[in-house]
Each structure stands twice: as structure tokens, then as C-alpha cells.
Amino acid sequence: MQFGLKAVLALAVAGLTLAFCAPIFADSLTIKTVQGKVHGKTINDGKVKAFLGLPYAAPPVGKLRWKAPESPARWKGVRDATQFGAHCAQGHMFDDMIFQDSGPSEDCLFLNVYAPADAKASSNLPVMFWIHGGGYVGGASSEPRHNGDFLPIKGVVLVTINYRLGVFGFLATSELAKEGDGAAGNYGLLDMVAALRWVNSNIKNFGGNPDNVTIFGESAGSFAVSTLMASPMAQGLFQKAIGESGAAFGDLLGGESLANREKADDAWMAKIGAKSLADLRAMPTDKVLEAAKEKGRLGFSPVVDGRLLTEPVPEVYAAGKQAHVPLLAGWNRDEGSFMAKDMTAAKWKSMAGQLFKDRAAEFLKLYPGDSDEQATDSAIAFGGDSFIAFGTWKWIEAQRKTGDAPVYRYHFELRALPSKYHPGEFAFHSDDIEYVFGTLDTRPGETVRPEDRKLSEEMMGYWTNFAKTGDPNGSGMPEWPKYGKGDELIHLNNPISSGPDTLRPRYEFLLQGMPAFHL
């Protein structure tokens, strides 16, 4: 009888333990947001909690197509947050973009939150807010290369977002300007601001610190970072910034005048037979995308709209009116790898003369072409400078001069092995993404070497250290010097090294005048 009583008591205690433990475990994956409760899942063998497909704005459809984002609806009960939300409507742009969601839609304003498994509301972890690239015309938060399996293990909360793209994100007609009290376009950028506001209101419950947010992005995402730093609407919503290969400091995606874009977009409307904004809003998604092809791949991009941007981005920095936050930025060695094909010394020298005329001799000293091999290397260098590097350099220089905050500059140099989408051994445009996220194994058809994993681990350390303190340096890591009067930068290679900038003469030459060059 005594044994039976003990057994009953033991079972009762066990039952109580389970009763208390089960809700605690469940609650760690059920988080309250302003809109309602969400229930996520664990990934990476339980090391990371993932909350996917969270709406940060109302669906921008029907009358809300080409409107600034509005607050999302509230819900009762618990919303499933174990699947990605739809990616934003887009045409096929880039072969290497793979999505893990249900497909494209205009109802796409979703974000994902990834946190360490033990994160709780009191954790107060730094937040890293990722803006994907794709020329403002492609991409999504569900791409495998920026999955959140690994970065949160370094002690951060990661947020990845969708935002409106192409014609849906950046159309700017005169009727839209009239409807918007003189402002039009930049809906994709306004989406980013809305997502940052959502983070400010909700991220604490996921374990993040709303007062320690780092915005970071690659390519168009980096252009967006430089733009958000210049936007009065975004300032105060983040405390640090990272830019990987891109800045709004040139003709490419740099932000043209609203007046010019109104004319161009009004002409486009007339050409496709749309007599009014109401006609455009009534057109099916696929018809709008098909009609947008009339303006080319980059026909719809940011403008100085008078709302998100009140003046061109470079002018904001020149006046010191941008966000005065620490900046970590740089680019890859072979951003211009697309220029490698069929280049010869004769062709290169001829091209130099056509582009730079009486400055050709000086140009060829900086980008020499005395052999076919040398000409190919110089073509890659100039292609990358024209495409991405020169604009990114100007951004870094501008922030150093007027930003009143530390700047850290990098050059990513480890050349990848040939793969399905990137033939040849290059540190190509976008090559750095999988290193930053620790997702090298998501690359199709590419061998991952020990030196790749080592550099990825080091870069994840630098990026997350910067998010924590505004300084990428940490114990046991090669020192990353501040970008100061000596132009010091770090070379992300195997091994990592640092030293003064040896390429500055190229950019000072290009400052004297950059000819029209069609990549």
C-alpha cells in the first residue's frame, strides 16, 4: 500500500511537471505581436526559432495598389508562422534566384523573424534587418541563400523582408503624384520603412532590442541602405548600417527627379492603352508585368519623391543630413566578371580611346591592357567599378566626411569555384551573401572548400560583432581597422589581411568624369 502511494505521488509529480513544461515549451514558439499571436517552429536542429510569413502591412492590392503601406489587420487566435509568405510579383529576372514560398503575388508584404532558441523578451539582442537585392525588380526573403539558420546562433535576431518590386514598387505617374499630394513612387522603399516600424513595435517579444537595429543589404538592398540613411522618414528606426556592393550615388538606381519620371511613366501608360490610374488598378497582375517590359528591366526605380526622399541622396550626405550611424561597407573583387568574355588587348585599347578620348592614356595606366590576359583583368575591374564599386566608394567617402560615426570598409576577394550559375573563378557580384549568412551549402553545383567555411565563419563574426557594438572586431579575429585618413580597409580572403587602399587613384580618375557606359 505504501509503495502504491509513492507510485501515485511520483506519477502526480511527473504529471504536474509535464503540465508546466509543455506550455512553457509551446509558449517559446508562440509570440504576441501588435496584430495578434503567431506560432513559429524551430530550425537547425532546434538551435534557432523561426517565425515566417508575418504581415507587416496590409495587402497592397485593389485600391491600395501604388499606395503607401497601411497597417496590417489584427486577428484573433494564433496565426501559423511556419511557412514563408508569397514573394512579391515579378517577372523572371535572374536564374540564380530560387524561392521557397508558395509563389508570386501582390499580397506579399511579409517578413520573417529568426531568433536563438533561448531568446526571450528580456534577451535584448541586437537586431539585423536584411534587405534583399535584385535590382529592385527581383528577389524575396525566401531565397535559401539568406535563410536564418546560422546568423542568430551568433547572438542576434535576424529579420528578412519582402518589398514591392518593379512597376508595383516604383511607378510614378502624374496622377499618382496628384493623388499623393505631390509625392509618388518609392512604394518599395516605403515598405521597408513600414517593416522597420513593425520591428520597432514588435521585436522585443522575439528577444530583440528595438533600439539596436542594423539595416543591411546587398546590391539593390545596399542601394536601399544608403537611401534609407538619407531619408527623413527612416532616421531613428535603425542605429547601424551595412552595405554590400551598391549605393545610390550614380545613375544606376540612384533616384531621378519625380518630374522626369512622371513624363516617362505617363508616356508608358499611354503606350499600353491605360487611360487612367483606375484602368491600371483594374489590370490583372500578369498584364501589368507584361506591359512593364516596355520600359526595360530597370524602367521603374527610385525617384526623389518629396516624401521618402526630399533631395538627391548624394546632396543629403554632402550636407551632413544623413543618419549619423556607424557604417560597414564594401564590394567584391570581380563585380565586373560579366566583362571577361572575349576581351583582347586590341579591343580594350580601342574601347579606352572611344570612352575617354584624350584621357585614354591615363585610363590605360590605371586599367592596363598590354596583353589579352591583362586586358581581361582590366575589363573586369572597370566593369565592376562602373557597375557597383565607384558608387559604393563615393558613399563610403561621403559618410566618412560628414557622417560623424565610424566607417569600416572591406574588399571581398576569395574567388569561388565554378558553379551552375557562375562559370569561372571569380569573386562575382552577390558572391558574398552565402558567406555572410553561413549558407554556402545552398549553392547549386558548387564545391565548398575549407577556406570558404573559414571565411564564412569569420565574416559572420565581423557582421554580428558590428551589429552588437558598431565595431566588427572581436577576440581571436584578424584586426579590422577603421577607415580613416590612411584609407585602411580589410581584405576578405584566405587569409584575411588589412592595409591602405591601393585602388584610390582609379576612383579619383573616374571623379573627373565617367562616360556613358552601357553594361
335 is catalytic: yes
Q: Is 174 one of the catalytic residues?
A: no
List 142, 219, 301, 456, catalytic entry = 219
Residues with Cβ within 8 Å of residue 210, at least 6 apart in sequence? 127, 199, 200, 201, 203, 204
Bridge partners (DSSP) listed for residue 240: 214
53: Cβ contacts below 8 Å, ≥ 6 apart: 81, 83, 84, 85, 101, 110, 112
Name residues whose C-beta falls within 8 Å of residue 34's C-beta, 6 or more positions apart in sequence.
74, 198, 201, 202
- Residue 75: strand, helix, or coil: coil
Query: How many beta carbons lie within 10 A of that of residue 76, not counting itself?
Result: 7
The C-alpha R_g of the chain, in whole angstroms, comes to 25
Say which of 143, 262, 335, 397 is annotated catalytic. Answer: 335
The C-alpha cell at 58 is 496590409
CB 366 within 8 A of CB 381: no
Q: Is 429 a catalytic residue?
A: yes
- Which amino acid does the sequence have at 460? M
Closest listed residue to residue 430, CA positions, set 157, 162, 129, 143: 143
Within 231-284, where are the H helices? 258-271, 277-282
DSSP code for 242 = E
What are the Cα distances from residue 295, in Å, to 94, 149, 238, 259, 300?
Answer: 18, 38, 34, 17, 8
Pair type for strands 407-412 and 488-492: parallel
State whether residue 113 is helix, strand or coil: strand
- CA atoms lying within 13 Å on the CB side of residue 315: 8
Tell me how far apart the alpha carbons of residues 91 and 94 are, in angstroms, rounded to a whole number. Answer: 9
Closest to 417 in 3D by CA, of 426, 408, 409: 426
Distance CA 213, CA 126 (A): 6
Is the CA virtual torsion 227, 230, 231, 237 positive or negative? positive
Marked catalytic residue, from 87, 132, 422, 429: 429
Where residue 378 falls (left for φ over 0; alpha for ψ -120 to 50; beta otherwise) is alpha
DSSP category for residue 410:
E
The answer for residues whose C-beta is within 8 angstroms of residue 8's C-beta and 6 or more apart is none
Q: How many residues does the chain have?
A: 519
Instruction: Give me the active site residues, please.
Output: 219, 335, 429
